[in-house]
Structure 1
Amino acid sequence: MAPADRAGEMTRRIATCRCGGLTATCTGEPVRISVCHCLECQKRSGSAFAVQARWPLDQVELSGAFHEWVRVGESGRPATFRFCPNCGATVTFVSASMPDLTAVPVGAFADPTFPAPRFSVFETRRHPWVHVAAEDMEHWD
């Protein structure tokens, strides 16, 4: 769901799993939008990289059944993933590297007008044919 249309209302975006059984309602603007090239995000997304947006924990509300799975990533820190028990799609995750923020895969919003990422991380794992060119992007190894 796109940002609120009426003046003065807080922006709300709704992310869903593929079957629609699990939703995350995100209130306000994301505080960080990033592209991650780490091998674990590649596996999670099934692509050469993953794009996620982060909000403070209290600005994301989950609805529906989910399973949790904890994985230690390339950073050496654990992350807790919440995914739909029916279709398996990850809808949110929290990483120990940013424990006060909930990450939501940008593709779960199904919104081509979603804001561009500002950070590109784990670029040492970036496929050589991938070029992320958003304005004012910070690049991190």
Structure 2
Amino acid sequence: MPTRLASCSCGQLTARVAGAPLRVSICHCLACQRRTGSPFAQQARFRRADVTVSGSASVYTLAGDSGAQARFHFCPRCGATVYYEADAFPGLLSIPVGAFADPGFPAPTVSVYEERMHGWVVPPAGAEHIP
């Protein structure tokens, strides 16, 4: 079973994951664009039981377009988000793919909020498109 380590920029907050992600997606919503400073966010979803978190985190709660909330856990020292929990997906954690710093990480298979996607962005071939 593969093990991966996600970390904040300074290494104080980590999430060790056992096993493959349940889903890897990109999100084009405006909240993700603002949160990441990028035209989209890429995240991998895992069972909470397969993730071991170490270090201290600050939490920012955000309500999405549907009204459901997500709690973003980020390093209080460097500010990097290492994982988040969405009310819509109990028992699961999402981890920003960049926190793994692994260019070989699996490509996204789902692309969401495409109505807010920047015109030059092209999701991977074969990705499921969810408006």
The TM-score with structure 2 as length reference comes to 0.97
1:53-105 per-residue CA deviation (whole Å, 9 max, x = no partner) reads 01001111110111112110123210011100000100000111212210000
Specify the alignment match of 1:127 in structure 2.
118
Give the whole-Å Cα distance in 2 for the aligned partners of 1:92 and 1:75: 20
Structure 1 segments, 4+ long, off by >6 Å, are none
Question: Mapping of 1:87-106 within 5 angstroms?
Answer: 87-106=78-97
Contact 1:40–1:74 (CA<8 Å) still a contact in 2? no
Identity, in percent, stands at 51
Looking at structure 2, the residues matched to 12 and 110 of structure 1 have their Cα atoms a distance apart, in angstroms, of: 14
Aligned to 1:6: none
Q: What corresponds to 1:3 in structure 2? A: none
- Aligned CA RMSD, in angstroms, stands at 0.9
Gap runs ≥5 in structure 2? none
**Distance apart, 1:133 and its partner CA:** 1.9
1:66 paired with 2:60, answer no
The one-letter amino acid of 1:31's match is L
SS at match of 1:92: strand
CA distance in 2, matches of 1:118, 1:138: 6
Match of 2:100 in 1: 109
Count matched residues. 131
Alpha-carbon distance between aligned partners in 2 of 1:74 and 1:20, rounded to the nearest angstrom: 32
For normalisation by structure 1, the TM-score amounts to: 0.90
List runs of 5+ in structure 1 lacking aligned partners: 1-9
Q: Which has the higher mean CA deviation after the structures are superposed, 68-77 or 88-97?
A: 68-77
> 1:22-63, CA deviations, whole angstroms, 9 ceiling, x for partnerless residues?
000011000010000001111111100000001001111110
Which of 23, 43, 53 is the aligned partner of 2:34?
43
Higher Rg: 1
